[in-house]
Structure 1
Amino acid sequence: MTITVSTAGAASDAVARVLPALIEERFASRLFDGDATLWGEAAIDESSKRLAWTKAHEVSRPLVADILALRDELRSAGVNRIVLCGMGGSSLAPEVITRTAGVELVVLDSTDPAQVSAVVGERLPETAVVVSSKSGSTVETDSQRRTFAKAFTDAGIDPASRIIIVTDPGSPLEESSRAAGHPVFLADPQVGGRFSALTAFGLVPSGLAGVDIEALLDDAAAVAEVLSHDSDENPGLVLGAAIAGCEPVKTYLGILESGSGIVGFGDWAEQLIAESTGKEGTGLLPVVLDGNPPEIGSTIPDLQLVRLVVNASQQPALGDEISVSGPLAAQFLLWEVATAVAGRILGINPFDQPDVESAKVAARALLDEMPEPASAAFDEDGIAVRGTERVVAGRTSVAQAIDALLAELPEHGFVAIQAYADRTRLGELAELRDLIAHRARRPVTFGWGPRFLHSTGQFHKGGPKLGVFLQIITAEQGDLEIPERPFTFGTLIRAQADGDAQVLEGHGRPVLQLELQNPESSASTLKSLLAAV
């Protein structure tokens, strides 16, 4: 198994300029030796506790037998549906692993009450749930765990036989879960969540769902040696130099699947790169592209396009593009190395996330206070409009408000669309991405809330002040209680949306919030929204 990176144009110029210094300082070998000094004095404390991902393919090997034994036990009990409750890297890695393998895994990384209700209510007697949380205190995952535990109990099923825990050693979740009799798998605490694809967080749900996880580890092991060499043929050094070494830096990294067979890779790479690099006013923002996106036909000099292809040797990069090929697990390790390289080039610590907590704090404050939602500036066709004063003041239609938001777009800016909605029912909202990109002629990202808060959310607050933000929220007619909590899923997702909007506006970012007031009869409302865009 091999991985190949091909560069052209500006990407090749960046490699030629940056790669020799990386080789001279022995970046690759020092990285795989766990050298925490690579990112400067200020990063040593954090990076010294976050470099075990370079050995994950070795350290995780003993997990395989236990995962497969539990899979067989569950199947013999008639359990053939695996649900994963996790956020960020804990859900995105298993999602791309299982989708690429063609194996069913239900990923629940939402707090939308309709979506949670649907997942909890389907085929419960055949279901086992993997609850993945490093800290054990992630509010989304904890709320989902409580809901499933009650559902199993109400159905006369022992939750301990159906809820499997993946967490770090010594977390409160480990202690309480062992006491309750749940199967517990421990991940390596020296690996951060977004680098955890080849640890228990990626392997347990994927293996239980039916993926050949031993083969995954084999694929990663097969490329680890070349990625650790201080050589101009090291694809990790080449890719890292290509994505971060342009002068000036190309802020936007368009990731386009072009026949590689890897499904959903862009979503995983998005959280890895954006959360690792988007801080101290700099960073790289991945833009997940599909089909024939408008960005390719536009002249966007600060957008670097990366294509995932079958064979980058036979399909070399053209123009200013980058082509990458290789099996999925090998690409996990490749992109993790490239992200570490990018951190070095950009002069930031790729292992912390200093701005992620701000949105969580704002959401918790709103949950404590339970304020009434702010009055809408106006309503049109079942859409209530709120937002930054200069965006909504004096507007009388959704179309005018969108015009005003796009008028705020800086010369080198981007648009972030954030959909706090049930992605299983309202998937058409994703069509907004291409529509806005056609109009803006700038990079446009699309994220489902609250999962993107654990992904691009760091870049939104800590990266360069270039974004304008379109929030889509829904007023669900039904709600869902969270056992032993004073708030519901409906109040939680609303607090997460409003809290993030508050923090963004506090950072000087303009926000337009559109609330779909009748998502149950979504066809006409969606039609109105798409027409307005």
Structure 2
Amino acid sequence: MTINLTGVSRDAAFARSLDSLLEARFASRLFAQDATLWGEAAAAEAASRLGWTDFADNAAEVVEQTRRIAQAFAADGVDNFVLCGMGGSSLAPLMIAPELTVLDSTHPDAVRRALESDLSRTAVIVSSKSGGTVETVSQMHAFEAAFAGAGIDPHSRIVIVTDPGSALAADAAETGKRVVFADPNVGGRFSVFTAFGIVPSMLAGADMSRLVGDGARVRDALSVDNADNPALVLAAALASGLPQRFVAELQSDASLPDEFGLWTEQLVAESTGKQSTGVFPIALPTGATPSGAATATLVRLSAGEQSDGPGIGIAAPLGQQLLLWQVATAAMGFLLAVDPFNQPDVESAKIATRESLGEPPEPTTEVPSPAETRARLRALVRRDGYVGIQAYVDPSDAHVAELLGRLRQSLVNELGVPVALGYGPRYLHSTGQFHKGGPSCGTFLQIIETGAREVAIPGEETGFGALFGAQARGDASVLRARGRAVLSVETSDPATLLRELIAAN
């Protein structure tokens, strides 16, 4: 099957964008790894970030290495796999491998649940490109202590996925942990066909050879400089609507994983959302109604044949969709004149988190009622903007997840603007860049669960709950400093709060 792209409005703005890509020979230069495509300021970064355009040989080596690791674990009776990772290290495996437990939260209940699984048959993949991701390193230390407490050698049960030369690489060399090195010339959000996507997904049973093969089969079609290249067409269609039409509402059918939209959110939002511009994908939950806002384009996604419908339609197997979106994202960076490989505003939230850790939260003098919260939200929302729900709750609580979806749709219906939903701290490594670096038109509702029983971080004075709260406070402070409106509501009972917020419509 080839990529089938339909429903593109080929107006004058689209034609200008597509012509710009063709005149620059963008596709062929991208696959030739020309780091000058995004300008002089971005060239140094891009020079070490284009390995994803030629991934097949490296992927084959990683698949074989992972196969040997999987065989060794199977011989030891290990068949349960937990991934500790954030952003580009977690979203691809979350999408690909439904049997994988992905721990990309610092909520104490989520951490405790993973630590209290059957460790006798569990192995942990610790994935971090930098080797210093605070959530991931903290989780690794917690698992080391848990394995030791269960009489299991932790170093035999932990697999490190990282870049050569990182702090995690040094730890693996010192302790004897298994390590699989990723291609250092690929950034995290473009790493689905590298060790970051392959190792955890394959250990959990996914057929990565097939997925990589699907991506490789469409490489030639995406590397040509012609007007039929679907990646160039997609990039031109989404970028040409800016600045007024900056949201892409993603509606996936059942032939694609539910989490495909989450992966796409990070890829596009973190790559383009900077210098007060950007394209903002919002993954619509199953059954959700698009906003219909003038700021949004509906993008319908399928791995099979797709019926006619509104908006842009993209039909292609998952592996082809992945490479399509990566090429289109790089092309959007070119059209918007931004560096698609950096994330300049992500570090600000990390700094604010560190500053907030260990400090008591500011006392709350007033707790608004749910009706007052919705009224404030109505007053703050811009008609040309969007709302971001930032849910600092246990991401595995299915009832709370259902209520969050209902609240999201309720706000869409009432406010008539696109509404994004992200779990904290996951979104900090995904759409957080867009919220802080993209257009200043977002209004944010933080729902922060408090009171969970603390889980210690070995070697640290503070625990996961303290880190969780500091991450929420830190990001809110940065957003407010950037002129964004933020409503933060703390609760020990998120389900009740969400029901009341829904009823307050």
The 3-state SS of whatever aligns with 1:60 is helix
1:411 counterpart letter in structure 2: R
Per the alignment, residue 128 of structure 1 pairs with 123
Pairs within 5 Å for 1:443-482: 443-482=418-457
SS of the aligned residue for 1:515 comes to strand
Deviations 1:124-154 (A, max 9, x none): 1111100000111100001100001100000
In the alignment, what sits opposite 1:364?
Answer: 354
CA 1:410 to 1:525, structure 2 compared with 1: closer, same or farther past 3 Å?
Answer: closer
Tell me, yes or no, if structure 1 residue 315 matches structure 2 residue 307. yes
Q: Measure, in 2, the Cα distance between the counterparts of 1:309 and 1:176.
A: 42
Counterpart AA for 1:341: A
SS in 2 for 1:142: helix
Distance in 2 between residues matched to 1:247 and 1:125, nearest whole Å: 53
1:216 maps to a residue whose letter is L
CA distance in 2, matches of 1:216, 1:326: 12
Change (3 A) 1:12 1:67: farther
Deviation of residue 65 (structure 1)?
A: 1.1
1:414·1:442 contact (CA, 8 Å) conserved in 2?
yes
AA aligned opposite 1:304: T
CA distance in 2, matches of 1:4, 1:507: 40
- CA distance, structure 2, for counterparts of residue 67 and residue 203 of structure 1: 8
Q: 1:308, CA displacement in angstroms? A: 0.6
TM-superposed CA distance for 1:18, in Å, is 2.2
Post-superposition shift, 1:304? 0.9
Counterpart AA for 2:365: A
Instruction: Check the 8 A contact 1:294/1:441 in 2, yes or no.
Output: no
Contact 2:109 2:452 in 1 (8 A): no
The count of corresponding residues between Structure 1 and Structure 2 is 502
Q: Does 1:411 align with 2:383?
A: yes
Which residue, 104, 107, 110 being the options, matches 1:112?
A: 107
Give the structure 2 partner of residue 393 of structure 1: none
Q: Which runs of 5+ in 2 are unaligned?
A: none
Q: Which amino acid aligns with 1:228?
A: S
Residues 110, 449 of structure 1: 8 Å contact kept? yes
The residue number in structure 2 matching 1:381 is none
Q: Corresponding residue for 2:167?
A: 172
Partner of 1:388: none
Deviation (angstroms), 1:525: 4.2
Provide the residue aligned with 2:182 in structure 1.
187
Structure 1 residues without counterparts, runs of 5 or longer: 379-384, 386-395
**283, 288, 291: which one aligns with 1:288:** 283
Q: Which amino acid aligns with 1:510?
A: A
Match of 1:531 in 2: 503
Contact 1:58 1:221 survives alignment (8 Å): no
Distance change in 2, residues 1:263/1:13 (3 Å): farther
Confirm or deny: 8 A CA contact 1:129 1:164 kept in the other structure. Answer: yes
- Where 1:476 maps in the other structure, the secondary structure is coil
1:7 and 1:59 mapped to 2: Cα distance? 36
**CA–CA distance in 1 between the matches of 2:481 and 2:392?**
20
User: Residues 178 and 431 (structure 1 numbering): CA distance in 2 closer, same or farther, change over 3 Å?
Assistant: farther
TM-score of the aligned structures, taking structure 1 as reference length:
0.91
Contact in 2 for aligned 1:278/1:462 (Cα 8 Å): yes
Question: Is the alpha carbon distance of 1:351 and 1:477 closer, same or farther for their aligned partners in structure 2, counting shifts above 3 Å?
Answer: closer
C-alpha spacing 1:277/1:157, structure 2 compared with 1 (3 Å): same
- Within the candidate set 267, 275, 287, 1:272 is matched to 267
By how many angstroms is 1:401 displaced?
Answer: 2.4
Match of 2:295 in 1: 302
Mean Cα deviation higher: 340-349 or 419-428: 419-428
SS at the partner of 2:290? Answer: helix
Q: Secondary structure at the match of 2:55?
A: helix
Give the distance between the partners of 1:210 and 1:303, measured in 2 at CA.
Answer: 37
Q: TM-score, normalised by structure 2?
A: 0.96
1:58-84 Cα distance to aligned partner (Å, 9 max, x none): 322111111011112111211111100
Q: Any conservation in 2 of the 1:131–1:141 contact (CA below 8 Å)?
A: yes
Judge which range, 78-87 or 325-334, deviates more.
Answer: 325-334
Alpha-carbon shift at residue 12 of structure 1 (Å): 6.0
More deviation, 39-48/264-273: 39-48
Mapped to 1, the partners of 2:421 and 2:336 lie a distance apart of 25
Alignment of 1:371-390 (within 5 A): 371-378=359-366, 385=367
* Kept after mapping to 1: 8 A contact 2:303/2:318: no
For the aligned residue pairs, the C-alpha RMSD in angstroms reads 1.6
2:488 counterpart of 1:513? yes
CA contact (8 A) 1:136 1:167 kept: yes
